Structure 1
């Protein structure tokens, strides 16, 4: 099973269609005032962040926020992570200095190692493929609103025992305040919001 990031997002979007529709309406309304669009959306999204029941649109560009989709089918798992580049490396323009290039390279290396998340040991899940990337390396990065992505494939020897996902990433990336996790585990589905003080997701 090989799902693209978009496929994972579209599948998980079924978990939260009502919220997606509401968010799309909000974005359409915000578009009426283009002069203040960036600042208004940023403040508006952070106002909603205070409500733990308000899950953001999948793929939405919100500083301090990330979306993680987990899909387990049989013994094959896909993980798809997306966040604003600002939340990961501290800027959203194309790197201009050696230090900024190093920041991007270091972030990609950390996410490629896959050590920022863990699954309960009973499931015996092994990382097979890890691929981290960012819009910051693209020509259009200077336009802003760059994102950071990480996609993973894992094989779980005992998938029926998968019960928990832990996210120590908050200790590695201080600017990341919240991750909205949406999961599908062999037909069961759910969603949770995680933070530094609440970084464990129950998958049952």
Structure 2
């Protein structure tokens, strides 16, 4: 299976954001109240995903109308959206293409304890080395027994921060607070796509911690 061979890395497209928080997926945005989402037709509790999570079936994305969709919350606010479906090569390629066409490009790959930091490859070896590094890491991961996670970030973040970032962590540090990330995971016979806003999540955690005023 070759997912990245069919996808252009580091292209340029536009992205959108919601006034109340970073857009996660379609009309859903970070920080959206759980109570509002629970009113949507077809939503059911799914604590097996995470306590308090909501799920629904038969959602459409990337030419597939059989996605399961999960909504994860913290303190009653939406933090993550997860899509789940049966894995096959064509579906994975179409999904990667759909994410890329929405203005995202590959920045990091992980498999078990190993990783391929695309930002670091660009910094140390140049843009021309990305193709070989990505394909080599992908082949090793798919031939092994570990899962494989592709992390894609907004193209405008890459444009803004790539030249001053030596690795993915630097890129996140440089990115604006409304940064959005898509993780596409291949594990066993299942394909997961997670939509997250990492800097907004960190800010929420920091705010929650600062509010814990309990002298001892």
Same fold (TM over 0.5): no
Q: How high is the TM-score relative to the length of structure 2?
A: 0.28
Greater Rg over alpha carbons, structure: 2
- For normalisation by structure 1, the TM-score amounts to 0.29
